[in-house]
């Protein structure tokens, strides 16, 4: 479900920024788009090779780290 909402939410956000004329750093897109695509491709290939239990642990650690950053920074 969460993956299915990413594209429509991104599209809605893009349109909102466009219509509100929010300044966007387009020069960053030169770096973000290609590296994002490389990361997505690599992640899709690695997903098949990493055991599910390890993925759950990694995801849990990332969530705990993100939560700690929100609380303390």
N residues, the chain: 73
Q: What is the pLDDT of residue 4?
A: 83
Q: What is the pLDDT of residue 24?
A: 78
Mean pLDDT in runs of 10 for the chain (73 residues)? 83 90 83 92 89 92 95 89
What is the b/e burial string over 42-53, where b = at least 16 CB atoms within 10 angstroms of the residue's CB?
eeeeeeeeeeee
Six-digit token string for 44:
């899709």
Residues 37, 68: Cα–Cα separation, whole Å: 28
Whole-model pTM: value is 0.54
């Amino acid at each position: 479900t969460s993956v299915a909402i990413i594209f429509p939410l991104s599209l809605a956000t893009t349109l909102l920024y466009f219509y509100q004329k929010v300044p966007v750093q387009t020069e960053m897109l030169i770096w973000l788009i290609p590296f994002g695509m490389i990361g997505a491709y690599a992640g899709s290939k690695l997903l098949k090779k990493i055991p599910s239990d390890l993925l759950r642990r990694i995801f849990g650690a990332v969530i705990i780290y993100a939560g700690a950053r929100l609380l303390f920074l």
